[in-house]
Amino acid sequence: MNLTRRTFPGFAALFSLPLFWVLLLMVVPYAIMISVGFWSRQFPLFYPDFQFGNYAQIAADPQYTTVILRTLKIAASVTLCSLLLGYPLAYFLVFTVRSRALRNLLYMSVIVPLWVSYLLRAYTWKIILGTDGALNSLLVSTGIVSAPLDIFLYNQTAMVVTLVYIFVPFMVMPLFAVLDNIPRRLIEASEDLGVGPFMTFWRVIFPLSLGGVVAGATMTFCLSFGDFVAPVLVGGPDGTMVANLLQTQFGAALNWPLGSALATLVLALVLILLQLSSRLDRAGRVDLS
């Protein structure tokens, strides 16, 4: 008891520092952002107020609805494509590669691109898909086309390809961890009962990997939803996403109240998504005991 009393102030001080850090750098900025969303603006200044004019402007202007829906569509496409690429890759690494050293080497080759600058990885695809890029050079040199095409860049497809390349490691990492921890005795029991490989995957492996699917999909969707670099580099005029609108409102337009209202809506969408993914994770969780 005496030891607890002597050490408790030290532990309290130890944990109060990160708590203060979280409050100062996360809770307070979010509270300021939400409150500024209700302020009014008379160019070039804005004033403390409590009115819903900024939210009414967002609801009345179809531009904002169009961009938000486009962002949701692109983020969902990136998430689906990342899952279709990442799940077979993680499955191959865990169940096909027998050598643990080779498996770790291949796994590291998947996540090593995360150590490279995000801007550099995005800019690489601008070089590949450009008129003078590697893809057009290959098509021209093989005679498939007679002249370089300009259809590969500055569209939503180019954005999806770029974002999938950048964010697919975030899908592979949780899937690899979950698949690698599936007890092999369950798979062996399924095989001993005469169940085929496909049904073993569908009835045993896939349900046990749903936690990794939900975690990877949540990270990939949230990162894609908030991206603003890829639309600038490869998106073009039709590739504007909600993060670009935020950048414009807080920058060139100098309309912080409207930008804060828009950011609050984005935050609400992300929180709803996290709540849904949490419920889906709990519903799909399997008790291995």
For the beta carbon of residue 32, count every other beta carbon within 10 angstroms: 11
With a CB cutoff of 8 Å and minimum separation 6, the contacts of 199 are 190
Q: What is the pLDDT of residues 183-216, one digit of tens each?
A: 989 888 988 888 888 999 998 999 999 999 999 9
Of the spans 121-135, 136-150, 157-171, 191-205, which averages the highest pLDDT?
157-171
Share of the chain above pLDDT 90, in %: 46
pLDDT at 9: 65
pLDDT at 1: 47
Of the spans 12-16, 91-95, 150-154, 234-238, which averages the highest pLDDT?
91-95
The mean of the pLDDT values for the chain is 88
Q: What is the pLDDT of residues 87-116, one digit of tens each?
A: 999 999 999 998 889 999 999 999 988 888
pLDDT at 170: 95
Report d(CA 262, CA 72) in Å as an integer.
15
Report d(CA 87, CA 285) in Å as an integer.
18
Would you state the structure tokens that stand for residue 154, as one six-digit string? Answer: 């500055």
Peptide bond into 44 cis (omega under 30): yes
Does position 161 have pLDDT exceeding 60, yes or no? yes
Helices (H), the chain: 2-22, 28-36, 53-60, 62-91, 100-111, 118-129, 134-141, 156-180, 184-192, 197-200, 206-208, 210-225, 229-230, 242-250, 256-284
Does position 253 have pLDDT exceeding 80, yes or no? yes
Does position 130 have pLDDT exceeding 50, yes or no? yes
Q: Report, as an integer, the average pLDDT of 113-134.
A: 87
pLDDT at 23: 83
pLDDT at 284: 67
pTM: 0.86
pLDDT at 2: 52
By the 8 A CB rule, do 225 and 71 touch?
yes
Q: In degrees rounded to 5, what are phi and psi of residue 124?
A: -60, -40
Does position 32 have pLDDT exceeding 90, yes or no? yes
Does position 289 have pLDDT exceeding 60, yes or no? no
Task: Note the Cα 34 to chain centre separation in Å.
Answer: 23
pLDDT at 41: 84
Report d(CA 244, CA 174) in Å as an integer.
29
By the 8 A CB rule, do 181 and 175 touch?
no
Does position 268 have pLDDT exceeding 70, yes or no? yes
Of the spans 44-58, 212-226, 238-252, which averages the highest pLDDT?
212-226
